[in-house]
A = this chain, B = another copy of it.
Amino acid sequence: MAASAPISPTIYFGAFVHSTSLIELELSDKGAIGVDSNGVIAFVERDVENVEDVKGKYDEFKEARVVEVKDGFFFPGFIDTHTHAPQHPNTGLFGKTTLLSWLQTYTFPMESSFSDMQKAERIYSNFVSRTLSHGTTTCAYYATIHVPATNLLADICLARGQRALVGRVCMDSDLSPETYRDASPESAIADSKESLSYIRSIDPTGTIVQPIITPRFAPSCTAPVLASLGHLARETDAHIQTHISENVGEIALVAQLFPSSTSYTDVYDTAGLLTSKTILAHAVHLAKEEVDTIKARGAKISHCPASNTAITSGCCPVRKYLNAGLTIGLGTDVSGGFSPSILEECRQAIWVSRFLAMQGADSAKLSTEEVLYLATRGGAAVVGMESKVGAFEVGMEWDAQMIVLGNVDERGSRDGAFEGLVDVFGWEDLGERVQKWVYSGDDRNTKMVWVRGRLVHSRA
């Protein structure tokens, strides 16, 4: 269905759960959420015994379709604030490497092959299916340096109806192999502009897909290219994404490559790349002055715990950043991260916070409520959509997933058709069901996914 075609007004009936603040979930057992023909939430009712009563209250909804959730709840769609679509086939392949060796061994060879459009279509189609199936309604994608393949990724997201920020990767320095880097500073900028223009042309309002300026990370770019990208961002008011301070070896490399900069953050700030539309992935090892600068510029953080653990980058001090007032979302960072699931990333954020707690920072622990906030409202703020998505409030758009859990019958068997890992015995309240989903759930529990009220994924 075209992403802009009008839809039938629909009432989503049954339990719903969403974040009302960093530390609080609203758990509504008997909800009714009305979504109008534009995909916008027109009303949110609680304690509804009979959906017909609600229909009567709202003119536009007198004949509304009703979608009821049973044995589960509606939850906002997840927002993945950082991932690399072309690296999907490398998922799980990292051995004992760390960032810089991993790039050379696994990543650059795979990405360079995206000059092959057939391969790009195969992998991007597969990956977008995967992220949707995990309930990701908005995703910030790194593509590769190739303009045609990057544009194709944007086409796929638009066709499938997934909100996406799609970035052609800019990398002109000789850190990368000759076979996989921008040929010159000029071509780097020209190609970035070309992809940006194309993506804006296919979705002029930017409702579903938007371009994002994407310097890979400081060591991959020369200073002139970083400055030109900063200029381009100002000129076009575009989003920016890059990596920062992921790994101590990388930080040392940046200091060596940019001797006049006072910090990694300063490299980007000097280039004009720190704006309120900038997504900084990782940010594991920031100094206090860097946190202050990022805060002052209004730039955002994408926390990628699975990746940081898998390639041994470090434990991002999320609590410290939250206390400093930074805006934070979650990123799967495939294939440094080993899963395209934000639900898995929620768990990984909990583990990282516990490892920090075990090192003495007890306050570091993130609760289930907090990671679900980061996965939804936090992520929405990172991509600049906090007024549109991430929660169920009147005026927001219906980017949502229907979560269904499994019932264990009296003999201890699972319901015939249901295949997921979450076992509900019947005595759990809605809050406990949410906890079980967070710790044991997977894509099997995500039965349906909507963006702007349009169904973009469903499971048989």
Query: A: which residues have CB within 8 A of B?
Result: 88-89, 91-93, 95-96, 118, 121-126, 129-130, 309-310, 312-315, 338-339, 350-351, 354-355, 357-359, 365, 367-368, 408, 410-414, 419, 421-423, 425, 432, 435-440, 442-444
A440 to B91, CA, bound (A): 8
Chain B residue with minimal CB distance to A310?
B354
* A-B pairs, 5 with minimum CB distance: A125-B412, A92-B439, A126-B412, A338-B439, A92-B436
A/B interface sample: 12 pairs, CB < 8 A: A88-B423, A92-B439, A96-B365, A122-B425, A123-B412, A123-B425, A125-B412, A126-B423, A309-B351, A315-B355, A339-B439, A442-B442
11 other contacts beyond A91-B423, A92-B422, A126-B412, with CB at 8 A cut-off?
A: A91-B436, A92-B438, A93-B436, A122-B410, A122-B411, A126-B408, A130-B423, A313-B358, A338-B440, A355-B355, A419-B444
Task: Report the minimal beta-carbon distance from A315 to chain B, rounded to whole angstroms.
Answer: 7
Contact B442 A367 (CB under 8 A): no
Contact B92 A309 (CB under 8 A): no
A432 to B425, CA, bound (A): 38
Contact B129 A412 (CB under 8 A): yes
With A408-B126, A410-B122, A414-B126 as given contacts, are A92 and B354 in contact (CB-CB < 8 Å)? Answer: no
Task: Report the minimal beta-carbon distance from A222 to chain B, rounded to whole angstroms.
Answer: 31
A124 to B95, CA, bound (A): 37
A88 to B424, CA, bound (A): 10
With A413-B126, A421-B443 as given contacts, are A435 and B312 in contact (CB-CB < 8 Å)? Answer: no
Task: Report the minimal beta-carbon distance from A98 to chain B, rounded to whole angstroms.
Answer: 9
Contact B91 A365 (CB under 8 A): no
A359 partner residues in chain B, CB cutoff 8 A? 359
A157 to B332, CA, bound (A): 39
Task: Report the minimal beta-carbon distance from A105 to chain B, rounded to whole angstroms.
Answer: 12
Task: Report the minimal beta-carbon distance from A421 to chain B, rounded to whole angstroms.
Answer: 7
A365 partner residues in chain B, CB cutoff 8 A? 96, 312
Task: Report the minimal beta-carbon distance from A2 to chain B, rounded to whole angstroms.
Answer: 21
A442 partner residues in chain B, CB cutoff 8 A? 421, 442
With A126-B423, A315-B355 as given contacts, are A367 and B412 in contact (CB-CB < 8 Å)? Answer: no
With A93-B432, A367-B96, A423-B89 as given contacts, are A354 and B126 in contact (CB-CB < 8 Å)? Answer: no
A351 to B337, CA, bound (A): 12
A357 partner residues in chain B, CB cutoff 8 A? 312
Task: Report the minimal beta-carbon distance from A149 to chain B, rounded to whole angstroms.
Answer: 13
A309 partner residues in chain B, CB cutoff 8 A? 351, 354-355
Q: Which of B118, B312, B338, B339 contacts A358 (CB 8 A)?
A: B312
Chain B residue with minimal CB distance to A121?
B412
A225 to B92, CA, bound (A): 48
A443 partner residues in chain B, CB cutoff 8 A? 421
A444 to B338, CA, bound (A): 17
A118 partner residues in chain B, CB cutoff 8 A? 410
Chain B residue with minimal CB distance to A439?
B92
Task: Report the minimal beta-carbon distance from A358 to chain B, rounded to whole angstroms.
Answer: 6
Task: Report the minimal beta-carbon distance from A403 to chain B, rounded to whole angstroms.
Answer: 14
Contact B125 A411 (CB under 8 A): yes
Contact A91 B312 (CB under 8 A): no
Task: Report the minimal beta-carbon distance from A27 to chain B, rounded to whole angstroms.
Answer: 15
Task: Report the minimal beta-carbon distance from A460 to chain B, rounded to whole angstroms.
Answer: 10
Task: Report the minimal beta-carbon distance from A113 to chain B, rounded to whole angstroms.
Answer: 10
Task: Report the minimal beta-carbon distance from A187 to chain B, rounded to whole angstroms.
Answer: 29
A315 to B356, CA, bound (A): 11
Q: Which of B124, B313, B350 contacts A412 (CB 8 A)?
A: B124
A314 to B360, CA, bound (A): 11
A408 partner residues in chain B, CB cutoff 8 A? 122, 126
Task: Report the minimal beta-carbon distance from A433 to chain B, rounded to whole angstroms.
Answer: 9
Task: Report the minimal beta-carbon distance from A350 to chain B, rounded to whole angstroms.
Answer: 8
Task: Report the minimal beta-carbon distance from A313 to chain B, rounded to whole angstroms.
Answer: 8
Contact B338 A125 (CB under 8 A): no
Task: Report the minimal beta-carbon distance from A318 to chain B, rounded to whole angstroms.
Answer: 15
Q: Which of B310, B358, B368, B421 contacts A314 (CB 8 A)?
A: B358
